[in-house]
Structure 1
Amino acid sequence: MSLLETINAPCDLRGLSAEQLDQLSDEIRSFLIHNVSQTGGHLGPNLGVVELTIALHRVFDSPRDPIIFDTGHQSYVHKILTGRRNLFPTLKQRGGLSGYPSRAESEHDWVENQHASASLSYADGLAKAFRLRGEKHTVAAVIGDGALTGGMAWEALNNIAAAKDLPVVIVVNDNGRSYTPTVGAIANHLTTLRTDPRYEQVLDLVRRGVTRTPLVGSAAYELLHGVKTGLKDVLAPQGMFADLGMKYVGPIDGHDEQAVERALQQAKHFGGPVLVHVITQKGKGFPAAENNVEDQFHTVGKIDEITGAPLAGPKGRSWTDVFGEELVRLGRRDDRLVAITAAMLYPTGLHRFAEVFPDRTFDVGIAEQHAVTSAAGLAMGGLHPVFGVYATFLNRAFDQVLMDVAMHRLGVTFVLDRAGVTGNDGASHNGMWDLSMLQLVPGLQLAAPRDATRLRRALARAITVDDAPTVLRYSKESVPADIDPVDVIDGLDLLYRSGPRSDLYRVDLHEPHRTEQAAEDVLVVGYGAMVPTALAVGRRLADQGVAVSVIDPVWALPVNPALVDLAARHQLVITIEDNGVVGGCGSRLAQELNNSGRPTPIRNFGIPQKFLEHGGRAELLADLGLSGQEIARAALEQLLGRSQPLTAEDVLVKQQRDA
């Protein structure tokens, strides 16, 4: 039996010797590489925090002492040590182990929000709650140097440092990276430390000192704190945090478990807020990850556990690739075009633009609010900024979109990657909120392209709009083959129209006589990634003899008046979108129809307003009833005026009547 197989709870770590801890670290890395290579997941970040996580669980009494992971993608080792080792074959699969902390999985998981820079605010509130309730707990928050580029983290630090007796230990996991190398002045400050030739001497001094020092006592604390031992000039970050009144411990070699453990013990016993600075290596122990220049295997699909080579067959062309290449082409034609990213240069495809136009590309770190208002400033200065961001992360900057861009009528283009249901990353990574939020923004124009051709055209148009914000959104799936319209009606793409109309609906309403003014049966409106589903619905309805048209508005906002007119000529309108059904494009169309005085029955199909469990996109859409078969069935039931599902006999009678 391996040593790892004997660890089923944090208490099992307590009696291990230093040699056994080293062995356990090696076994955990082997376990991670073997399992994550088969399921996919965040491999690099977890390989970098093995010793750190072991030390956290030896020092803090989880779950009594909360351990909060910022973002949470580095929580796999924590899961292993808290009794979930045997669930790793199900990692990120529907019904299986979440790729992030999950309160439903374990009492050891306090926070499951997957957006960065929030851990310190959670820790601040938890520690204050414990203090008010008279409970003696220490809160540990693990935050990366990348997440420290987010303003929310510094707002929390400002409050935590002011509470001198607040038992919060902040562990800065400094690996110089978020997805890619961390940017900005804070990152430069920390990089200066890591690259200083005296750094290894400092680590060695601390390492030797802590092995000889008791767990308590001012001498040990001053050694770790670094100020009274003549190291102040070397430890540049110390001054930065000292200015906030924050006690600073470090730097600590994050792969020396004993050194990390001793530093955490000292910080815990201090009784007030302390920042422990540990230096780690993302991807440690897996050469393929260590040598990966792009992101050191931040996240991987199924890979060879020896070489790190992808095992899946070649993927189809991605939306991100199409966008990145088209932006470069447009950038060559228009020198006003600039790009902004919030620490996601590669994931959003903006690295291509950066390679060609480095001076026109700005990575602001994990700071979406700042990115949007900085984009407003760029637009005020006569440029046209394009902000590439995951749809779920635009939530964080809604006020800036509304007040700083739209209210000033500025031309900023937002390109929302991974819109809609993203699948196995879980609840907070589904881009299912943007369409509902952006409906509120005056003057905003939004396109949901269905294929690569429509994306290129939409982007070319968006960057010419200099008096209003423009938005493009697309999914993380492969780009489908182009779907060309059979006709274009006042800017609307007609994708499908069935043959002779059915009189079924009018017969059921006791209106058996066809007139020249009679409305057509069904209009199906598909948005973006759901256009193929809309086509499937249209064809299924046509197979049942229903007169049906399928429309893609291409530009969903503002609502095209021609779409309102077209909808008013139908007996039923179906809208399909991969956004929350409340406040989405379908409900906006219903509102416009009502405002026009021609309220046509309309059924909106989208995502219920609930947080979705992780799972494959196709699985989740099927669970939500967002398939061609289910939506067509619902449309037929409404046409028949029935509350019960159609039977085979119903369909046969209908077909005989139509014949």
Structure 2
Amino acid sequence: MDLTKMKNPKFLKELNTEELEILAAEIRQFLINKLSVTGGHLGANLGVVELTLALHKQFNSPKDKLIFDVGHQSYIHKMLTGRTDQFDTLRQFKGLCGFPKMNESEHDVWETGHSSTSLSAAMGMAIARDMKKEKNFVVPIIGDGALTGGMALEALNHIGHEKKNLTVILNDNEMSIAGNVGALHNALGRMRSAGKYNRVKDELEVLLKRIPAVGGKIAQTAERVKDSMKYFMVPGMLFEEFGFTYFGPVDGHDFRDLEKHIAYAKKTEGPVLIHVITQKGKGYKPAEMDEKDKWHGVGPYKIDSGEKIKPVNTAPAWSQVVSDTLETIAATDDRLAVITPAMILGSKLEKFQERFPERLFDVGIAEQHATTMSAGLATQGMKPFLVIYSTFLQRAYDQLVHDVCRQNLNVAFGIDRAGLVGADGETHQGVFDIAFLRHLPNMVIMMPKDENECQHMVYTATNYDSGPIAVRFPRGNGLGVPMDASLSTIPIGKWEVLKKGADAVILTFGTTIEMALAASENLQKQGIHVEVINARFIKPLDETILHERMQKNIPILTLEEAVLKGGFGSAVLEFAEENNYHPYIKRMGIPDRYIEQGEVDQLLEEINLTKDQIITEINQLLLSSNDKQKRA
């Protein structure tokens, strides 16, 4: 069929099993073709084709609420709800978002890009439904990886207590972004291998009670026997103990099996969990054979071979520099322990894991636990280095405040994906960490200008014994600079003058240094000499340099690929106020709004964080400063 004609999923109710299977195959081929050009979350979506079709056939979206956890498996949902013709723009500037987006469709009832949120959101929607006396189904779809998140377990506990009508779909493909870890993952493995256990209490009781005279007693006896037998049939029965009626395991690629169990669930009062087994990457051999889940999120690839199409770039990835440096340090320092919340692959820690398997700890999708566990390690004289995406560190804010900074513990943070990240969009832009770290007492924050400085910062962090310290580094590849053969520490709080100039000064760090240097070179051709300083320590500031520049009363431009509110520029303004300086200061950075998906250069252009805008701002600062001097 013409997939672009799918505007509302209601048409699925008219399709039989054979027609659904044909449609599933067409959707898979469509995704394989389109994502070979745009990239995207291929493996997760190929695994949920039949499941998404079955859910939309059995439920009535948007009246019934389909809530995708994480959201990277929502492509089929987007196609069924009228967005197939937009897939050429997937994850591109002003194009189709790679995650659920309310302003795209009324069928997107919840927005997400981080894991473990769906059950809490569903509980809120179920409570609202009941308070308003409405009738509809609330259906969160959560993966086995996301289920390890503490927030998901909190929600399971509350849902089981309240006994609200909810139908939870557990999409169990044995993988998240990396292989899952932990006791819950092992328990699900036992459930997968134990065979089916379907608890259809109401139908069983009705059947038995039809037996004359003794039917009621038989029903009571059968219930007791069934409750005893369930522990043999499914080891642990974790979800039943949480208060859920459990169905499964169900073949997530068998329409008959799926529809039968969804129908059972719709008849069951109280919370229900359908345990669905799917194969990530199903229908595309390279993705099916992927044991390390490198087909979770992909760039363009060759369809026939599965070969990834990558830009030619000899410079190492920033995350690889960090990982390699940690490996070097670990060879001589037995106290180093590296922690990651399910991001071994994303943060390129595979080599470290191979060499030091007993010193790398993947805690699963559990950022809060990772942070406090690191604090615990630090109390015992170890050197914990927590490698974590900027956007995921947001989830551990209380642990940062209460467990790490308050106790002034020697925990080092490698903050990956700091700054704009591009195609993953607003849920993944790492632009808030400076603002929420800078105001925490005892915290040190730094960011390198290139990969050589990065390796020295990682070494500095692992040798810092005066409290918490963070190294921010961006997504993507470095600059290709020569690397020093030996590691050395950088004096805490010391900045670096990259280009001298007496007319104005640009204070910046990390990814915006090249932009500042280019602007300074351009201004020099106009006879304007602008100093460029690598403000590599965002906290503490280099007070010596700031006193010297502010005493000269020359204009200052701060530049950061991070939010302006509470950011580095705010710190410079605070310093000026606290020391009674009154220079002209202008701040450039991320405005007070969420930044959607697109190439980083496109996003910088959209928010006027460019070389040309720097030149404009410097000229305006100089005009204002000259006017002030004339009036004086």
What TM-score do you get using the length of structure 1 for normalisation? Answer: 0.88
3-state secondary structure, aligned to 2:327: helix
Contact 1:216/1:269 (<8 A) preserved: no
3-state secondary structure, aligned to 2:503: strand
Q: 1:450 to 1:119 in 2, by over 3 A?
A: same
Contact 2:190/2:234 (<8 A) preserved: no
- Whole-Å separation in 1 of the counterparts to 2:207 and 2:252: 22
1:541 to 504, 523, 531: 523
- Segments of structure 1 that go 5 or more residues without pairing to the other structure are 499-519, 644-659
3-state secondary structure, aligned to 1:605: strand
Q: Which moved more, 1:521-530 or 1:66-75?
A: 521-530
- Whole-Å separation in 2 of the counterparts to 1:489 and 1:400: 24
Superposition map of 1:148-187 within 5 A: 148-164=147-163, 166-187=164-185
- 1:108 equivalent in structure 2: 107
Compute the displacement of 1:580 (Å): 0.3
Is 1:550 aligned to residue 532 of structure 2? yes
Q: 1:642 to 1:521 in 2, by over 3 A?
A: closer
3-state secondary structure, aligned to 2:424: coil
Deviations 1:60-85 (A, max 9, x none): 11001110000100000111111111
Compute the displacement of 1:354 (Å): 1.2
Q: Which moved more, 1:525-534 or 1:266-275?
A: 266-275
Matched to 1:191, the amino acid is: G
- 2:342 equivalent in structure 1: 343
- 1:607 equivalent in structure 2: 590
- Whole-Å separation in 2 of the counterparts to 1:629 and 1:14: 56
Number of aligned residue pairs: give it. Answer: 603
Matched to 1:576, the amino acid is: L
- Whole-Å separation in 2 of the counterparts to 1:479 and 1:6: 44
Q: 1:215 to 1:618 in 2, by over 3 A?
A: farther
- 1:493 equivalent in structure 2: 496
- 1:501 equivalent in structure 2: none
- 2:216 equivalent in structure 1: none
Superposition map of 1:22-101 within 5 A: 22-101=21-100
Contact 1:339/1:350 (<8 A) preserved: no
1:294 to 275, 292, 295: 292
Q: 1:109 to 1:234 in 2, by over 3 A?
A: same
- 1:373 equivalent in structure 2: 372
- Whole-Å separation in 2 of the counterparts to 1:579 and 1:219: 64
Deviations 1:145-179 (A, max 9, x none): 10011000011111111122x22111110111111
Q: 1:381 to 1:102 in 2, by over 3 A?
A: same
3-state secondary structure, aligned to 2:474: coil
- Whole-Å separation in 2 of the counterparts to 1:611 and 1:97: 16
Compute the displacement of 1:5 (Å): 5.2
3-state secondary structure, aligned to 2:102: coil
- Whole-Å separation in 1 of the counterparts to 2:397 and 2:309: 39
Compute the displacement of 1:183 (Å): 0.4
Q: 1:264 to 1:632 in 2, by over 3 A?
A: same
- 1:360 equivalent in structure 2: 359
1:271 to 266, 269, 272: 269
Compute the displacement of 1:126 (Å): 0.7
- The sequence identity of aligned pairs, in percent, is 38
- Whole-Å separation in 1 of the counterparts to 2:202 and 2:18: 20
Matched to 1:314, the amino acid is: V
- 2:563 equivalent in structure 1: 580
Q: 1:219 to 1:494 in 2, by over 3 A?
A: farther
- 2:508 equivalent in structure 1: 526
- Whole-Å separation in 2 of the counterparts to 1:46 and 1:229: 38
Matched to 1:604, the amino acid is: R
1:596 to 575, 579, 593: 579
- Whole-Å separation in 2 of the counterparts to 1:219 and 1:91: 51
- Whole-Å separation in 1 of the counterparts to 2:21 and 2:493: 69
Compute the displacement of 1:217 (Å): 8.1
Superposition map of 1:220-619 within 5 A: 230=229, 232-236=231-235, 239-315=237-313, 316-482=315-481, 491-498=494-501, 520-568=502-550, 569-619=552-602
Contact 1:51/1:257 (<8 A) preserved: yes
Compute the displacement of 1:482 (Å): 3.6
Contact 1:55/1:258 (<8 A) preserved: no
- Segments of structure 2 that go 5 or more residues without pairing to the other structure are 209-218, 484-490, 627-632
Contact 1:142/1:170 (<8 A) preserved: yes
- Whole-Å separation in 1 of the counterparts to 2:353 and 2:17: 46
- Whole-Å separation in 1 of the counterparts to 2:282 and 2:25: 11
Q: 1:5 to 1:481 in 2, by over 3 A?
A: closer
3-state secondary structure, aligned to 1:83: helix
Q: 1:6 to 1:522 in 2, by over 3 A?
A: closer
- Whole-Å separation in 2 of the counterparts to 1:329 and 1:215: 63
Q: 1:304 to 1:148 in 2, by over 3 A?
A: same
- 2:487 equivalent in structure 1: none
Matched to 2:262, the amino acid is: L
Matched to 1:129, the amino acid is: A
Q: 1:490 to 1:579 in 2, by over 3 A?
A: closer
- Whole-Å separation in 2 of the counterparts to 1:294 and 1:42: 15
Matched to 1:631, the amino acid is: I
Q: Which moved more, 1:557-566 or 1:333-342?
A: 557-566
Q: 1:155 to 1:638 in 2, by over 3 A?
A: same
2:623 to 636, 640, 646: 640
3-state secondary structure, aligned to 1:125: helix
- Whole-Å separation in 2 of the counterparts to 1:592 and 1:83: 53
Matched to 2:384, the amino acid is: P
CA RMSD of aligned residues (A): 2.5
What TM-score do you get using the length of structure 2 for normalisation? Answer: 0.91
Q: Which moved more, 1:172-181 or 1:346-355?
A: 346-355
